[in-house]
Amino acid sequence: MRLADYLDKGASLGGDAPCLTMNGKTLGYDEVVRRSREVAGALQASGIRRGDRVAVLSGNDPLALTCVFGISRAGAVWCPVNPRNEAEENRQLLDLFGCRCLLFQRRFAPLVDRIRDRLPELTVLVCLDGAVDGAVGFEEWIDGAPEPEEVPVAAGELCMLAGTGGTTGKPKGVRLTAENMATATALTLMSYPFGDRPRYLALAPLTHSAGVLTFPVLTLGGEVVIMPEPDLGEFLRLIEHHRVTHAFLPPTVIYGLLDHPALDSTDLTSLRCLWYGAAPMSPTRLEEALVRIGPVLGQLFGQTEAPNMISTLAPAEHFHEDGTIARERLSSAGRPTPLTQVAVMDAAGALLPRGARGEIVVRGPLVMAGYHEDAEATAAASKYGWHHTGDVGYLDEENYLHIVDRMKDMIITGGFNVYSAEVEQALRAHPAVQDCAVLGLPDDKWGERVTAVVQLRPGREVAAGELVAFVKERLGSVKTPKQVEIWPDLPRSKIGKVLKPEIRSRLVPVRG
């Protein structure tokens, strides 16, 4: 299936049904289909051909999402560009992808001006909300566009090129095929509760997991309610107003939701699944969410290279059959999905038995077609015939996947291996801790000393020594931080992940 086929499938269930909603304005399916056809026709009239790369630089917006389906109809490849990236990172991605067309919102015109002269292949620039210098306005661009020649998808053909958004070095481009997207969509529909015409609230950036999750919703003829800016009070209001059934939030945003004064007075009974993922979640706060938000939390684990659905923990799996919370599962990433093989591998390529720790590896139709124009990185990631996730973990006796740490984040202190994620989970169990990051810093005695940087919950205070004692009681002295810093906030990426390299760069010059 093309990406446009998910929209068309929803339209076939009723063209007048609400499709995309923002700020109180709703577009029906027939209108979104019509506009996506206009985009496809305008792309082809601008010289865009099958396989050409077309980038979209926009915040959450119905027109930007509609353009994704137009790109698909024209047979081109969608290149989502995150507006929160630095200009140079976006330039590198557009150059790597060889993008010929860029569709962007006016507010990002200054960013475009800084990079366009160094993108020789970029010949078509369209501003989605009015003409600006060097770019045609969207309405003028589509005016008089011919009927598009719709291009069917071929086996193995790309539908999306996504940047990895790495925090160091040049970003890599992930080649995702129509089969990858179809697999992710099918697994979403298999793994979580859906009914007729779900209503999905998109607060998180549509350039990431939140965007991919629109495809199964649209396939069912559902409505996507789009938030242009993140606002937790508005998020709660929209759930109640639109009777929202599905939403996705990173754990840090769920923590903010749990601390929001309007949470307990909001009617959340329409929710069937509140997805969480993209970073580890505190089991303590997850249990709180299950009680206060409801038995609707659903975890997804994936990465850009294998979108969203490597493993899942459906809402029902957070509980035992007798209705009690399954606390032993809350620290897991759920079970491997039906169309995906998941194993744990040692450094020599041998698959390990249950309970043994090693690198989590994956194979199946969810896994990317490789890194764009980077044969060396592709070969390294697919060594021994499996995709290497870079995560350390294990499978337990019930086949639940436990992610222990990123391989690059493991700390070797005094000759012992310490997994930073394990220490972070212990710290997050403290009632005063909102979030934290644990890393190893150079140390003359220990080689690396376990160091924790902690962000406290609003209105809370705690001494560093109390946190040290709290972890020591749970994990022992080897894994206990030798250094604890309390910061008002932690540096984060575009999707809310804590940026450990930035934390390290702040601490090492001072602590050296």
User: 3-state SS string over 53-93?
Assistant: EEEEECCCCHHHHHHHHHHHHCCCEEEEECCCCCHHHHHHH
Which pLDDT score is estimated for 512? 36
CB 472 within 8 A of CB 440: no
Lowest mean pLDDT, pick from 40-54, 311-325, 442-456: 442-456
In the predicted model, is pLDDT for residue 387 greater than 60? yes
Hey, what domains does the chain have and what are their CATH numbers? 3-8+26-178 (3.40.50.12780), 231-406 (3.40.50.12780), 410-511 (3.30.300.30)
Distance between CA atoms of residues 147 and 235, nearest Å: 38
Whether the per-residue pLDDT at 190 is higher than 50: the answer is yes
pLDDT of residue 168: 45
Specify whether the CB–CB gap between 371 and 173 falls below 8 A: yes
- Give the Cβ contact number of residue 488 at 10 Å: 6
Return phi, psi of residue 438, to 5°: -120, 135
The whole-number average pLDDT for the span 305-319 is 97
Closest CA to 63 of 124, 10, 123, 127: 127
Which pLDDT score, from 0 to 100, does residue 494 have? 66
Q: Tell me what pLDDT residue 167 has.
A: 42
Range with the poorest average pLDDT among 102-116, 305-319, 480-494: 480-494
3-state secondary structure of 385: helix
pLDDT bracket for residue 165 (50, 70, 90): low
pLDDT at 509: 64
If one compares 477 and 101, the residue with the highest pLDDT of the two is: 101
Q: What is the pLDDT of residues 73-83, one digit of tens each?
A: 999 999 999 88
Global confidence as pTM = 0.87
* pLDDT tens, position by position, 201-247: 999 888 888 899 999 999 999 999 999 999 999 999 999 999 999 99
184 closest CA partner among 3, 437, 332, 328: 3
d(CA 388, CA 280): 19
State residue 405's pLDDT score.
83
Mean pLDDT of the chain: 93
Q: CA nearest 335: which of 317, 352, 313?
A: 313
In the predicted model, what is the mean pLDDT of residues 476-492? 93
Q: What is the DSSP letter of 371?
A: B
What is the pLDDT at residue 280?
81
Task: Return d(Cα 92, Cα 102) in angstroms, integer.
Answer: 14
Tokens of 355: 């309970």
The pLDDT of residue 87: 87
Residue 511 amino acid letter: R
CB 229 within 8 A of CB 238: no
pLDDT of 6 > 70? The answer is: yes
- 472 pLDDT more than 70: yes
495: enclosing H helix or E strand: none
Please give the single-letter amino acid code of residue 129. D
> Is 339 a residue whose pLDDT tops 80?
yes
Q: pLDDT category, 169, cuts 50, 70, 90? A: low
Instruction: Please determine, for residue 194, whether its predicted confidence score (pLDDT) is greater than 80.
Output: yes
